[in-house]
């Protein structure tokens, strides 16, 4: 059976210096239900790669396939119902929390599953939130979790999570990790997380993808990666949390 998402020899030029490659020749695939943590230093192109996978940025070379079907055969909105990108800076739609949560069912033309929405909000530690509140008035962390629940309600086959817990306190962060692990188990949703938090990457992934030097340098089992990465770049990366944090993340 074809993988859920395949990336075949994907290359992208730097948005700021078009003559240089940000990365090139990236080939990787993710199967239904697989959980990947995407690691790499700041500026290596992790967000760009996930945005490409959600058709939010064009590629300069290579091909994407969804369940074996070439990307060119899809309308972007159909692709994005299957592969949903949750941005680091949450985008709230105009209106109330409830209107934001209802977006998925309105897009699909299906009934709003309110019990599921309430359960997800409670699991994300947002059970107390007044759904009549304008979404613009939520805190950064509340927006991040509401945007995440809104994406879950789309029931995508794959979620692309771009530093999804970066504005959260440790308790909420753990709640979101548990919620997403349970969701992946229950729904068979594939997930790719960008994170700068090594503990998080261990607890939310079965596989690590490590980017550096314009390449996908490593791709393999999470435990094996942390026990002994095969490249010097990855070895240095996991040994230097202080420098990584100084890069301005989490």
Ligand X SMILES: Nc1ncnc2c1ncn2[C@@H]1O[C@H](COP(=O)(O)OP(=O)(O)OP(=O)(O)O)[C@@H](O)[C@H]1O
Contact residues for ligand X (CB under 6 A)?
Answer: 14-16, 22, 40, 42-48, 249
Q: How many CA atoms lie within 13 A of 51 on its CB side?
A: 12
C-beta closer to ligand X: residue 46 or 143: 46
Tokens found for residue 164: 């999804």
* Minimum separation from the CB atom of position 114 to ligand X (A): 35
Q: How far apart are CA 151 and CA 161, in angstroms?
A: 10
Instruction: Determine phi and psi for 26, rounding to 5 degrees.
Output: -90, 120
Query: Could you tell me which of 221, 217, 168 has the C-alpha nearest to residue 195?
Result: 168
C-beta closer to ligand X: residue 48 or 201: 48
* Minimum separation from the CB atom of position 19 to ligand X (A): 14
C-beta closer to ligand X: residue 93 or 246: 246
C-beta closer to ligand X: residue 134 or 247: 247
Contact in structure between 97 and 124 (CB atoms under 8 Å): no
Q: How far apart are CA 224 and CA 39, in angstroms?
A: 15
* Minimum separation from the CB atom of position 37 to ligand X (A): 13
Query: Could you tell me which of 154, 162, 149 has the C-alpha nearest to residue 193?
Result: 162
CA Rg, the chain, in Å? 18
* Minimum separation from the CB atom of position 63 to ligand X (A): 20
Q: How far apart are CA 248 and CA 243, in angstroms?
A: 9
C-beta closer to ligand X: residue 56 or 129: 56
* Minimum separation from the CB atom of position 136 to ligand X (A): 24
């Amino acid at each position: 059976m074809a993988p859920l998402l395949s990336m075949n020899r994907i290359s992208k030029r730097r948005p700021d210096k078009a003559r240089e490659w940000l990365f090139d020749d990236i080939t990787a695939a993710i199967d239904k239900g697989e959980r990947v943590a995407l690691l790499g230093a700041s500026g290596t192109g992790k967000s760009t790669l996930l945005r490409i996978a959600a058709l939010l940025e064009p590629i300069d070379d290579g091909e994407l396939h969804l369940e074996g079907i070439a990307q060119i055969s899809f309308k972007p909105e159909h692709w994005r119902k299957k592969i949903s990108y949750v941005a680091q800076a949450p985008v709230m739609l105009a209106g109330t929390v409830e209107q934001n949560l209802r977006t998925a069912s309105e897009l699909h033309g299906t009934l709003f599953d309110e019990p599921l929405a309430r359960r997800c909000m409670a699991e994300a530690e947002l059970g107390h939130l007044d759904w009549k509140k304008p979404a613009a008035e939520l805190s950064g962390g509340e927006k991040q979790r509401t945007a995440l629940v809104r994406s879950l309600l789309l029931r995508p086959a794959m979620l692309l999570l771009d530093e999804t817990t970066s504005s959260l306190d440790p308790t909420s962060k753990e709640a979101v990790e548990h919620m997403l692990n349970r969701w992946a188990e229950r729904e068979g949703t594939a997930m790719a997380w960008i994170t700068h938090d090594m503990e998080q990457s261990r607890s939310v992934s079965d596989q690590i993808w490590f980017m550096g030097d314009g390449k996908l340098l490593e791709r393999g089992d999470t435990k094996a990666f942390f026990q002994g990465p095969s490249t010097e770049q990855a070895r240095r990366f996991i040994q230097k949390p202080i420098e990584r944090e100084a890069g301005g993340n989490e």
